[in-house]
Amino acid sequence: MIKDGLYERKFAEFLSLVNVRNIEDRKFLLLFEKELTMSDVGRLSRLVVPKKFAKYFGESKDLLEFKDIEGNLWRFKYSYWPSSQSFVFTSGWNLFVKEKKVKAKDRVLFYWHEEGDKREFIIDVGVNREAVEEEEMVVVEQSTAKKLKLFGSWIA
């Protein structure tokens, strides 16, 4: 690779993929982010981990621990589903969805933090701004419309 001149280009590509986020002087390496689907936040109570990122969490385990940016601890059961040939977070994921009020199209970001002997996974949520703006617009439209309550029913 060095002889054929590819090393510099490959190294530059690698560096462009590395994403480090600083929060309170602590460095977090972004492992991956995923835009949530309806099935990720719905009744199935599971998050499908994209196959190319499953390697970050190792083999199927009982529980993986994550901390959010506020320092709250979240535990997700990490397992492999042979039927769909996918890795998923199951138990604990539904609680995270409810507490963080995440919806489809929001993004969930997974980081790795290492400081001395301390190693941990970090999870964060990125809200879908377009969906929030649409909801706010609907609320504004509803609040400006004149309504009248007649015999227990609201009419416009």
What is the DSSP track for 95-107?
HHHHHHT--TT-E
Length of the chain in terms of residues written: 156
Domain enclosing residue 103, as ranges = 20-155
Assigned domain for 59 exists: yes
Alpha-carbon 69 to chain mean position: 12
Higher pLDDT, 49 or 131: 49
Assigned domain for 131 exists: yes
What confidence category does residue 73 fall into, taking pLDDT thresholds of 50, 70 and 90? very high
Q: How many domains does the chain have?
A: 1
Q: CA angle at residue 122 from 20 to 94, to 5 degrees? A: 140
Higher pLDDT, 67 or 56: 67
What confidence category does residue 84 fall into, taking pLDDT thresholds of 50, 70 and 90? confident
Assigned domain for 88 exists: yes
pTM comes to 0.64
Assigned domain for 4 exists: no
The pLDDT, as a whole number, for residue 51 is 85
CATH number at residue 85: 2.40.330.10
Q: Which two tokens stand for residue 78?
A: 């990490």
Is 155 exposed, middle or buried (CB count within 10 Å of its CB: 0-12, 13-18, 19+)? exposed
Assigned domain for 138 exists: yes
- The answer to whether residues 155 and 147 touch, using CB atoms and an 8 Å cutoff, is yes
Q: 33-62 pLDDT, tens per residue?
A: 999 999 999 988 899 998 888 888 877 677
What confidence category does residue 99 fall into, taking pLDDT thresholds of 50, 70 and 90? very high
Assigned domain for 11 exists: no
> With 60 as the cut, is the pLDDT of residue 132 above it?
no
Assigned domain for 116 exists: yes
> With 50 as the cut, is the pLDDT of residue 66 above it?
yes
Q: 114-126 pLDDT, tens per residue?
A: 888 888 889 999 8
Assigned domain for 2 exists: no
> With 70 as the cut, is the pLDDT of residue 13 above it?
no
